[in-house]
């Protein structure tokens, strides 16, 4: 679902189901030659988004904590910002797209780093600063991921070809699903947590 989420935000919507909190359907935008900032870049959705944006020819600025720098540069990130040392909004300007996988009340700070006409994609519902976004000419858009067979087939091919890869944070036997949830609850994962079914 994380890969499908990144895909449906950035490449093609997986459904035509209206979002009750947004009048228009989400529309991904072409990324070739664009500057995109991905917040929460080391997480499940984020690490796929970095790879997809690179695959599409974007310049990628990845935001995560220190321990993920080499990982994200290895996935193709052109710039890395350690949010524990530097606030992205203090050092970045003129971005075309922001994908924020973290969300919450801090998403509005990304309005100031976007170009007029840029796109802010919060990977959650409930963005609360629509007035400021309109004043700055920024399009804020979100969606809810939906399963989509043809897209999964396409993504399966990209994984098989090695164009995209899944980072595994940790693996637990199915019988230790509780511990897997405990690991997830600690946060700061790198990629996905896997359950092994033998």
Ligand X SMILES: NC(=O)c1ccc[n+]([C@@H]2O[C@H](COP(=O)([O-])OP(=O)(O)OC[C@H]3O[C@@H](n4cnc5c(N)ncnc54)[C@H](OP(=O)(O)O)[C@@H]3O)[C@@H](O)[C@H]2O)c1
Q: Where on the chain is the footprint of ligand X (CB under 6 A)?
A: 1-2, 5, 39-40, 42-46, 63-65, 68, 83, 101-103, 123-124, 144-145, 187-189
Q: How many CA atoms lie within 13 A of 4 on its CB side?
A: 14
Q: What are the distances in angstroms from CA 190 to CA 61, 71, 81, 150?
A: 17, 8, 16, 27
Q: Please, what is the minimum distance in Å from the beta carbon of residue 33 to ligand X?
A: 25
| Nearest CB to ligand X, comparing residues 19 and 56 | 19
| Nearest CB to ligand X, comparing residues 137 and 194 | 194
User: Which residues, listed in sequence order, are joined to residue 194 by a DSSP beta bridge?
Assistant: 171
Q: Please, what is the minimum distance in Å from the beta carbon of residue 135 to ligand X?
A: 25
| Nearest CB to ligand X, comparing residues 2 and 117 | 2
Residue with the shortest CB distance to ligand X: 43
Q: Please, what is the minimum distance in Å from the beta carbon of residue 114 to ligand X?
A: 17
| Nearest CB to ligand X, comparing residues 96 and 100 | 100
Q: Please, what is the minimum distance in Å from the beta carbon of residue 87 to ligand X?
A: 10
CA 89 to chain centroid: 17
| Nearest CB to ligand X, comparing residues 34 and 192 | 192
CA 126 to chain centroid: 17
Q: Nearest 5°: CA angle at 115, between 14 and 96?
A: 35
| Nearest CB to ligand X, comparing residues 101 and 138 | 101
Which structure tokens are listed for 24?
């228009």
Bridge pairing between strands 95-100 and 114-122: parallel
3-state secondary structure of 108: helix
> What distance in Å separates the CA atoms of residue 164 and residue 47, rounded to the nearest whole number?
10
**What is the residue whose two structure tokens read 């600025």?**
61
Q: Please, what is the minimum distance in Å from the beta carbon of residue 196 to ligand X?
A: 19
Q: Please, what is the minimum distance in Å from the beta carbon of residue 82 to ligand X?
A: 8
> What distance in Å separates the CA atoms of residue 40 and residue 48, rounded to the nearest whole number?
11
């Amino acid at each position: 679902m994380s890969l499908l989420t990144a895909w449906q935000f950035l490449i093609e919507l997986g459904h035509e189901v209206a979002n009750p909190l947004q009048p228009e359907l989400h529309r991904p935008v072409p990324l070739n030659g664009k500057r995109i900032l991905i917040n929460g870049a080391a997480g499940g959705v984020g690490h796929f988004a970095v790879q997809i944006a690179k695959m599409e020819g974007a310049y990628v600025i990845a935001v995560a904590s220190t321990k993920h720098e080499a990982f994200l540069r290895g996935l193709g990130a052109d710039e890395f910002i350690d949010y524990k040392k530097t606030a992205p909004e203090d050092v970045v300007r003129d971005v075309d797209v922001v994908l924020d996988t973290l969300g919450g009340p801090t998403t509005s700070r990304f309005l100031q780093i976007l170009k007029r006409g840029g796109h802010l994609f919060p990977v959650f519902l409930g963005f609360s600063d629509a007035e400021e976004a309109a004043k700055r000419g920024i399009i804020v858009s979100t969606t809810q991921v939906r399963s989509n067979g043809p897209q999964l087939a396409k993504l399966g091919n990209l994984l098989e070809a090695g164009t995209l890869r899944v980072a595994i944070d940790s693996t637990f036997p199915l019988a230790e699903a509780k511990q897997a949830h405990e690991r997830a609850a600690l946060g700061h994962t790198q990629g996905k947590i896997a359950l092994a079914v033998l």
